[in-house]
Amino acid sequence: MRIVVADTAASAARLAADLVEDFITAEPRPALGLATGETMEAVFAELVRRHRARGLSFAGVRAYLLDEYLDLDRQDPCAYRNVVHRLLARHVDLGAGAIHGPDPHAIDLDAECNRYERELRAAPIGLQLLGIGSNGHIAFNEPGSPLDSTTRVVALSEQTRAENARFFPAGQAVPTRAITQGIATIRAANQLVMVACGKHKADSVARALEGPVTSEAPASAIQLHPNVTVVLRASAAVGLSESLRAGAP
């Protein structure tokens, strides 16, 4: 596992964007796994900046969503497909047809989860971007999620709903359910890039990187992956042991 500590959120976003850029320019039809959340907003903004400044192209990219809320209208701006469109796709040469994700309006959600799992395994994902929840979730795999879980419908914890309420207009309830890639699905990606910023992430980052690998800390599953880069703003790295921080350049 490579750990990189950055001084600012902007430099963390640039480091993550460097890895995405290397990946999408090295392959003709790259399969890129996209996360969402505030941390990713800065990464998307940096990628858009590079597209505008020097033509970084997404023309061949196939993008895959990590997770998606259930029970929102198709047009709801908070649906992750719409977030990715608004913050990334519409500003770069990434067509709407290039964004793949589970259909949260499918009649048979279990069948849809299985379909998306098969699609991901067939892709397969070359680089998967990941954030981390302050309770240690990755995607919407909440504490207690089996390490061998695949794409499925999950209930969101109260903590996650409370944290994500800031993305929803006042008065709109945060969904209680979502479809998420499972932990095994995420682990099947060739390369993982996790990004975390802020003191409120320090504890979950320390558990993910140095704690036991356990379903109680879903992000700890990244320890099982052979090709992981963790990009941390210094504030999110304060819980790490000296030896791990010393290993970071």
Binding interface with ligand GLP (CB under 6 A): 35-39, 66-67, 131-133, 139-140, 160, 164
In the complex, minimum distance from the CB of residue 5 to ligand GLP, in angstroms, rounded to a whole number: 17
Active site residue 164: no
Burial (CB count within 10 angstroms: exposed 0-12, middle 13-18, buried 19+), residue 107: exposed
Comparing CB distances to ligand GLP, the nearer of 25 and 172 is 172
Active site residue 110: no
Token pair listed for 127: 């680089």
127 beta partners: 32, 191
Comparing CB distances to ligand GLP, the nearer of 56 and 66 is 66
Comparing CB distances to ligand GLP, the nearer of 59 and 165 is 165
Active-site entry in 46, 112, 117, 142: 142
Active-site entry in 135, 141, 163, 164: 135
- Residue 67 amino acid letter: D
Comparing CB distances to ligand GLP, the nearer of 26 and 165 is 165
State the Cα–Cα distance between residues 150 and 85, nearest whole angstrom. Answer: 25
Q: Are 13 and 45 in contact (CB under 8 A)?
A: yes
In the complex, minimum distance from the CB of residue 139 to ligand GLP, in angstroms, rounded to a whole number: 5
Q: How many residues does the chain have?
A: 249
In the complex, minimum distance from the CB of residue 214 to ligand GLP, in angstroms, rounded to a whole number: 18
33 beta partners: 64, 128
Active site residue 142: yes
Active site residue 67: yes
State CA 46 to chain mean position distance.
16
| Positions marked active-site | 67, 135, 137, 142
